[in-house]
Structure formats: C-alpha cells, structure tokens
Amino acid sequence: MTRALALIPGDVTSKESLQACVDIVKSHTSHADVVTANSGIGGPDISFTEPQTQKPLPIDQLCANLWSPETEQINETYAVNLTGVHFTVAAFLLLHAANQSTDSGRNSTVRPQIITLGSAGAWNRDPTQQSLLQSQKSGSRAYDEDPRLRTRAV
C-alpha cells in the first residue's frame, strides 16, 4: 500500500483554481485522508493599544482606528481567510466523503479529517491584527459543528 502526501498550491479565492486542485487529486486517487483548508493573509493594521506602552487606547482613538481601513481591505482579508476556507472545504468534500465510505483494503483505523486553518496568524500576538484574525478563526470553527464533515479547526 502506497501512502502519499500531496501539497497542491491553489488560489482559495477562485472556485476554478480549487476545482483544478480537486481534479489533480482525482487523477491520482478516489479519496482524501486529510484535507487542510489553510488560507490566510494579515489584513490592515488596526491598533487597539498604545504602541509604546501596550495600554488600551482611549475609546475615541480605538473607534478611529477601527474605522480607518478601506472596505476593500477588510473584504479581501475575509475573502481569503474565511471564504477561502469555506470553498476549500466545499471543493474537497466529496473526496473526503469517498474516504469515509470506501473499504478498499485500507487501514480501517484511518479517520479522514478536514483541518481548517482560518488564518494561523490569529495565534500570533500582533495586537494590530487581532480583531480581524480572531473573528475569522471563530468563523472557521463553525465547520466543527457538523459531524459529517469531521473537521478540526486549528
């Protein structure tokens, strides 16, 4: 039995690119043991604290900082970090489901998983990135709610 790990780069903001990735996998196998939906960009800097002291900003300054990014900057960040996870899961779900239903002599202890990484940057301690990245992390964890998906949000 041959095991293989395939890293397939693609554009998570493009359904066509994701479908091309699925087609590459399908050309080699009928199923996927692990799918990692890993997408993330930092987005605009939004400071919540004083740069030197790390003390919380006065509410009027915080409001100004939250208001300062352009709508397109926020939308682009969500498009990659959350919508990208969504469409990666959707694109690979049938290959994931095929693994759950096939018994072709493979190790029956293998439990297929979808790992969602709605921006690993949410784990860093950059205070200018926390508002967007934390909300995206929460959004990617929503996939854990459906047991058919067997997802694990990281």
The overall pTM is greater than 0.85: no
Average pLDDT, the chain: 78
Beta bridge pairs of residue 113: 34
Beta bridge pairs of residue 117: 38
Inter-CA distances, 131 with 43, 66, 117, Å: 10, 9, 16
Q: Which pLDDT tens digit goes with each residue over 83-117?
A: 888 898 889 888 877 665 555 555 556 667 778 77
pLDDT value, residue 1: 43
- Joined together, the tokens standing for residue 58 give 């006065």
Asked if residue 3 is part of any domain, the answer here is: no
Asked if residue 38 is part of any domain, the answer here is: yes
Asked if residue 11 is part of any domain, the answer here is: no
What total number of domains does the chain contain? Answer: 1
Q: Can you give the CATH number for the domain in which 48 is found?
A: 3.40.50.720
d(CA 29, CA 84): 24
pLDDT value, residue 64: 95
Asked if residue 43 is part of any domain, the answer here is: yes
Q: Is the pLDDT of residue 47 over 90?
A: no
pLDDT value, residue 42: 78
Min mean pLDDT across 70-74, 125-129, 130-134 is at: 125-129
Asked if residue 5 is part of any domain, the answer here is: no
Asked if residue 102 is part of any domain, the answer here is: yes
3 state SS of 64: helix
Domain residues for the domain of 101 are 31-153
